[in-house]
Amino acid sequence: MIAEEKKRAREQWGEDPCGEVHGREHEFGTREFFDAVERHRYHEYAPWMPALKGFDQFAVKRLLEVGCGMGTDLLQFARGGAKVTGVDLTPRSIEISRHHLLLYDQSGDFALTDAERLPFADESFDVVYSNGVLHHTPDTAGAVREVHRVLKPGGLARVMLYHRNSWNYWFDIIARHGLLRGELLRGNLPADIMSKYVEFNESGGRPLVKVYSRRQTRRLFSMFRDVKTDVAQLTREEFHFLGPLIPDNLFRRLARTICWNVIISARK
């Protein structure tokens, strides 16, 4: 039987595929739709992603994406020459991803599965990639062990998790929603607040959401022989009226420490 948290995640992204809102001015599933989603993701929301995620670094390598969503990142790896496989917990995501790659004359393998129980033999992949997914599954540590298991010796895991020591967590979630809006006073835990506000969507799916410090991520990936962490994703808009007043050199320093994403690169 599937866990309640996984049911909520499946409901969330079955009804509201991640990034879909940014292509809504176009017919769903068309090139125009996917181009708009891609343009927002890599040019407006996170222009740091292509370089830091290494979309063009894995030509001819076998690459698995855990939680492929609509296949936006998976397509970039395929364009870079990787032999891609995408897995997801949500049937609709698999359908969309398969269609997405075919629409752009790229190919890949797909499977409907659980990140905590990957249906692959040991040492099957050169690279395992997962962006903003493993913090939604109940046994994140178990999912990381699965990533390690299916990687070949010397293989690379590149995983993004939400960052506990971030401005977004402490100001927006804890201070603004937790204290100023009274969520903590009403007995809600930080995890409840994140479930309500971080992944808000029209269907009210309320998925499980967790955050990790850089130290906690290194502990999660301790079975790997080499672990590096980076942080990214901080915008001036997150500081509201103070954003335009922050000097550039100070903002650059903040962007090296209190970003919302922690990206782990771990070598088996």
Residue 112 has pLDDT above 70, yes or no: yes
Residue 160 pairs in a beta bridge with 131, 263
Q: Which of 138-152, 179-193, 200-214, 217-231 bottoms out in mean pLDDT, i.e. has the lowest?
A: 200-214
Residue 203: which pLDDT band, with cuts at 50, 70 and 90? low
**Sheet with 125-131, edge to edge strand ranges:** 109-112, 83-88, 62-66, 125-131, 151-162, 261-267, 226-232
Handedness of CA 129, 38, 98, 10 (dihedral sign): positive
Q: Residue 159 has what pLDDT?
A: 98
The residues near 28 (Cβ < 8 Å, ≥ 6 apart) are: 20
pLDDT in tens, 74-87: 999 999 999 999 99
Handedness of CA 231, 232, 238, 241 (dihedral sign): positive
Q: Residue 196 has what pLDDT?
A: 87
Residue 12 has pLDDT above 90, yes or no: no
Which amino acid would we find at residue 109?
D
SS3 label, residue 29:
coil
CA angle at residue 11 from 9 to 17, to 5 degrees? 85
Model pTM? 0.95
User: Both tokens of residue 238?
Assistant: 């997150």
What span, in angstroms and rounded, lies between the C-alpha atoms of 110 and 94? 7
**What is the CB neighbour count within 10 angstroms for residue 26?**
14
Residue 205 has pLDDT above 70, yes or no: no
Q: Residue 4 has what pLDDT?
A: 79
Q: Which residues of 89-103 are buried (b: 16+ CB within 10 A; e: fewer)?
A: bbeebbebbbebbee
The DSSP 8-state label assigned to residue 62 in this structure reads: E
User: Both tokens of residue 44?
Assistant: 């407006």
Region 21-25: mean pLDDT is: 92
User: Both tokens of residue 114?
Assistant: 């659980």
User: Both tokens of residue 186?
Assistant: 């009403």
The residues near 170 (Cβ < 8 Å, ≥ 6 apart) are: none
**What is the CB neighbour count within 10 angstroms for residue 195?**
22
Q: Where would I find the beta strands (DSSP E) of the chain?
A: 62-66, 83-88, 109-112, 125-131, 151-162, 226-232, 261-267
Q: Where would I find the beta strands (DSSP E) of 30-167?
A: 62-66, 83-88, 109-112, 125-131, 151-162
Residue 1 has pLDDT above 70, yes or no: no
The residues near 137 (Cβ < 8 Å, ≥ 6 apart) are: 5, 6, 9, 114, 115, 116, 143, 208
What span, in angstroms and rounded, lies between the C-alpha atoms of 106 and 91? 20
Handedness of CA 219, 222, 226, 231 (dihedral sign): negative
Region 140-166: mean pLDDT is: 98
